[in-house]
Structure 1
Amino acid sequence: MIRASSDVPARPDAPPGAVRRARRWLPTVLVTLVISVTVLGGFVVAETLPAPEVRPVAIADVLRVRPLPGWEVVRREQATVPLASEGDISGEFAQLTRGSGALDLLALPGVGGDALELADLYATAVLTSQLERLSVSSLVDRITLPTGTEAVRFGYIGSQPQTGAALEGSVTAIVAPSGNGAVFDGWAPQGQLELISEELVAMIARAEVV
């Protein structure tokens, strides 16, 4: 969510004819000293303030994500994903947002398979049902997260059915040794994904899939 900073309102002029009391001006050296102490003191206080604590988000006892400051959970719900063969698999969905960007999180307990299979499942069962004019990258990057977990990542572009607005996204899929899977889908209006890409990568790198 974008938080607009509020401007300090200007003080109104004194009404016509108002009499101002005579001011006693401090010596210039003393004024300079007071200003210096005030400003420097402000910097000291600012540096000692603790960073805002952001609580981790746990999803389906499978995925744990630590949102960066400014990112907020706006949706949480149960999810069902149809399987390629037959039936479906249940999981939990959550969405983090900051400004016009979003990070969709999907936790699928016991999905099994590997990260590439999960990425293909997400592209065919989820993205194709949510976006029009979908184009998925034919190149898939295999990556290793700082936790040592293997993952795959691919990009896509598409448009929202309701508005026709163009979107671009980056999907990261992980399957833990336990067989539990997680999908991270970071997206934004086309041309704006790069503005949040570093934050998306940082949150995914710190995530835990058990």
Structure 2
Amino acid sequence: MIDELDFEPSIDSADIGVAVENGIVTLTGHVPTYAQKVTVEDVVRRVKGVKGIAEEIEVRPFGTNRTADDEIAKRAVNTITWNTSVPNGAVQVKVQRGWVTLTGKVEWQYQKTAAADAVRILAGVVGVSNQIEIKPHASAYDVKKRIQDALKRNAEIEAQAIKVNVLDGGKVTLEGRVHAWSERSAAERAAWSAPGVITVEDRLTIG
């Protein structure tokens, strides 16, 4: 375990203590940055046989002058704003004694992760709480309504003859009877036009 930490170039393992009992690793000591603390955890997780980690490492920045919370907050906001993965204005930052709390709403998990990754490398950060919510995609009801509205708007389609089923996860099934191939194609296009649709299964019959 110590060998793995010594082998990782981004970690100064001199002040890290490691104890192992029944696959549970207890990490103690201190590191100068939060980024190093996260890296230590990642390295230990990679070691074969590790079942759990008790994390007691303290982030102790170099020198006695800690970075002021308002300075950390300013840098965090700028870093998140510059990150193209995170939508502008979606994430809010709060800093208390070097501990950064992220809140807000994004559409995807990778955006939530990107925001945390951006701030954890900043000088003075001792911890990050990622409380960003992931907004659910459009509900099945919303998707169904949008498709039905699109069908009604299309002059080619007899909307009442088409049954729309939507499952959570974006799978749409079209059932019923249409008069021509053009009507069937128009119905498919209407289904695909709704946000959140991932697959469309066309069971429409022509006759």
TM interval, shorter chain, is under 0.3
Q: Return the structure number with greater relative CO, CA threshold 8 A, min gap 6.
A: 1
Q: Normalization by structure 1: what TM-score?
A: 0.27
Greater share of residues in strand: 1
Greater share of residues in helix: 2
